[in-house]
Amino acid sequence: MEDKGRESVMLPFGFDYYRPKSLEEAVTRFQQADQSLKEPMYFSGATEFLTLGRINQVYTEAAIDLKGLSEGKIIQFDQGYLVLGANLTLTEIEEANVFPLLTSTSKEIADHTARGKITLGGNICGQIFYREAVLPLLLADSQMVMVGPEGIKVKPIHEIFHERLLLQRGEYLIQVATESRYLDAPFISIKRRQQWETGYPLITIAALIMENKLRVAISGLCTFPFRSKEMEGALNNLEVSPQERIHNALASIPGPILHDVEGSSDYRLFVLENLLVDVCEALKFGERE
Amino acid sequence: MKLHTIHLNVNDEEQKVTVRSGDTLLYTIREQLGLTGAKPGCLNGDCGACTIQVDGWPMKSCLMMAVEAEGKQITTIEGLNNTPIQEAFVHHFAFQCGYCTPGFIMNGHSLIQKKPDADDSTIKEWLESNICRCTSYIEIEKAIKFALGKNKPSS
């Protein structure tokens, strides 16, 4: 009985634990562990590492904890950009509230206590495919700052995020930078769940208006979060009726619609249709002058 | 087996423990330190029965490894003594079986400290982190509000 109890409250595999103090040390630790075939992995909040590791869906023999990196904890305005560290917890982002759309979206992830451990980078890079914290960054054309064997790289999110953040082996996300002009843009973020007020979404939608154009990013509809130029093109075609715009947008969904225990694909489509109506109404988008 | 000897500050006492990399803080405080107030529930970060305080914020101790907690100020239910939230739970009989109670109290205690002027929506947002299978939610909410009121400086 004692052994069974012990197994239930610790991970079922042994691993080396490192907490590097510099960007370079983190990369070096990864490379060394990689050469030793230890299947190294980076984490920061470690919530997914614990919950998936507990059920053998994550495995490593070398865990590199990034939360000691001061570069990953900054909240700073610099040359017209807001720079957020990837190791900030969602609670820290909410408390600072420097990017209201990001606050609004991340406040719906998990629950309040868990958000004190989940990090921005961890949510974006996680295996669990909702990755809702990326939605505001997709809408705001953010820059992703990564560290790896080749040093520091800065790339536009649209180059490096396709369904997931396309990190090279040994790379990790350390910061995201967003132009200040996006921080005050009109926005809305809505999360619809099957039931209750915490937990995974049926669909989460974030929307923002920039230069009179509506931008939308969606999680929970497909097996990946996305922002679709085709969908936005349809929604911004003011030559046709609002109903037709939404109908055309629904025809441009970039992948198979999820059909699972949270909701059938037909139901998700129904929910999305209504969400798009709600978004346009809330942002007063497409209303005739 | 990867072992680490670390120092944990729990309830204002320095504790030296030897842990495996993958030991959760919940396991360590219960089985190594004998502080069994934090309860194992879902072990998946969902139910909040294992909630403690880390650096003044509520933390699900099943979602934290002991090695992550070095250098942090940890408070468990055993570290509270006649606090307003404890008195409020007794006054409002905010429990039935009591299993979730330490987690709710630690969350509520953090709420009172961090958000003494919490409005209804903030209280609800924080309390959604914990589950009570006996559904004592109304009494728990009353207790939290009572403690918040009691905590405010009298004008």
pLDDT, one tens digit per residue, over A108-143 is 999 999 999 999 999 999 999 999 999 999 999 999
Segment A168-216, tens digit of pLDDT: 999 999 999 999 999 999 999 999 998 888 878 899 999 999 999 999 9
- What are the chain B neighbours of A67 within 8 Å (beta carbons)? 68
B40 touches chain A (CB under 8 A): yes
Please report, in tens digits, the pLDDT of each residue of chain B (155 residues total).
Answer: 589 999 999 999 999 999 999 999 999 999 999 999 999 999 999 999 999 999 999 999 999 999 999 999 999 999 999 999 999 999 999 999 999 999 999 999 999 999 999 999 999 999 999 999 999 999 999 999 999 997 665 54
Q: From the candidates B30, B60, B114, B144, which should be mutated to test the interface with A, based on the most A CB atoms within 10 A?
A: B60
Whole-number pLDDT of residue A6: 52
pLDDT at residue B150, rounded to an integer: 72
Express as a percent the part of chain A with pLDDT over 90. Answer: 91
* CA-to-CA separations, A166 to A118, A123, A155, A160, B21, in angstroms, rounded: 20, 14, 11, 5, 28
Q: Which of residues 87-106 of A touch B (CB under 8 A)?
A: 91
> Which alpha helices (H) appear in chain A, and where do they start and end?
2-8, 23-35, 47-53, 90-96, 100-106, 112-115, 120-125, 134-139, 157-160, 229-235, 242-250, 265-282
Residues 6+ apart with CB under 8 A from A289: none
Amino acid A179 reads E
- Mean pLDDT estimate for chain A: 94
**Do the Cβ atoms of A113 and B126 come within 8 Å?**
yes
Residues A158-171: tens digit of each pLDDT: 999 999 999 999 99
Please list, in sequence order, all residues whose beta carbon lies within 8 angstroms of the beta carbon of residue A40, skipping any fewer than 6 positions away. Answer: A29, A30, A33, A34, A60, A61, A62, A63, A64
Of A12, A21, A123, A23, nearest to B21 by C-alpha is: A12
CA separation for the pair A117, A74 (Å, rounded): 16
How far apart are alpha carbons B28 and B72 in whole angstroms? 14
Q: At CA A202, angle to CA A200 and CA A208, rounded to 5?
A: 95
> In the 3-class helix/strand/coil scheme, how is A227-253 assigned residue by residue?
CCHHHHHHHCCCCCCHHHHHHHHHCCC
* CA atoms of B136 and B126, how far apart (whole Å): 16
pLDDT for the residue numbered A2: 43
- Judge: A17–B44 Cβ closer than 8 Å, yes or no: no
From-to residues of CATH 3.10.20.30 in chain B: 3-78
Contact across the interface for B62 and A111, Cβ inside 8 Å: no
Model ipTM value: 0.96
> DSSP code of B53?
E
Cα B70 from Cα A163, distance rounded (Å): 35
Q: Which residue has the tokens 């495996």?
A: B20
CB within 8 Å: A110 and B45: yes
How confident is the model at residue A51, as a pLDDT? 95
Digit-coded pLDDT (tens) for A247-283: 999 999 999 999 998 899 999 999 999 999 999 999 9
pLDDT at A1: 38
Instruction: Please report the pLDDT score of residue A198 as a whole number.
Output: 82
CATH code for the part of the protein at B79-151: 1.10.150.120
Q: Residue A7: is its pLDDT beyond 50?
A: no
Q: Once rounded to an integer, what is the mean pLDDT over residues A21-42?
A: 98
Q: What percent of chain A stands above pLDDT 70? A: 96
**Matching CATH number, B3-78, of 3.10.20.30, 3.40.30.10, 3.40.640.10, 1.10.3720.10:** 3.10.20.30
- Please indicate whether, in this complex, the C-beta atoms of B64 and A46 are within 8 angstroms of each other: yes
Task: Please list every residue in chain A whose beta carbon sits closer than 8 Å to the beta carbon of residue B4.
Answer: 17
Q: Pick from B107, B101, B95: which is nearest to B136 by CA?
A: B95
Three-state secondary structure call for residue A6: helix
Mutation for B interface: A43, A89, A112, most B CBs within 10 A: A112
Cα–Cα dist A270/A181, whole Å: 33
The pLDDT, as a whole number, for residue A180 is 97
Of A16, A50, A65, the CB nearest to B2: A16
What pLDDT, on a 0 to 100 scale, did the predictor assign at position B30?
A: 97
Q: What are phi and psi of B75, to 5 degrees?
A: -125, 130
Residue A243: exposure state from Cβ atoms within 10 A (0-12, 13-18, ≥19): exposed
Distance of CA B3 to the CA centre of its chain: 27
Look at residue B109 in the predicted model and tell me its pLDDT. 98
- Confidence tier at A9 by pLDDT (50, 70, 90): low
Query: Strands (DSSP E) along A79-212, which ranges?
Result: 81-85, 143-148, 151-156, 161-162, 164-165, 172-179, 187-192, 203-210
Decide if B23 and A10 are in contact by the 8 Å CB cutoff.
yes
Domains of chain A, each with CATH number or no CATH: 2-64 (3.30.43), 71-182 (3.30.465.10), 187-282 (3.30.390.50)
**C-alpha dihedral sign at B151, B153, B154, B155:** negative
Measured CA to CA, the distance from residue B3 to residue A58 in angstroms comes to 20
Among all residues of chain A, which has the CA nearest to that of B52?
Answer: A113
Residues of CATH 1.10.150.120 domain(s) within chain B? 79-151
pLDDT in tens, A14-27: 999 999 999 999 99
CA distance B95 to chain A (A): 20
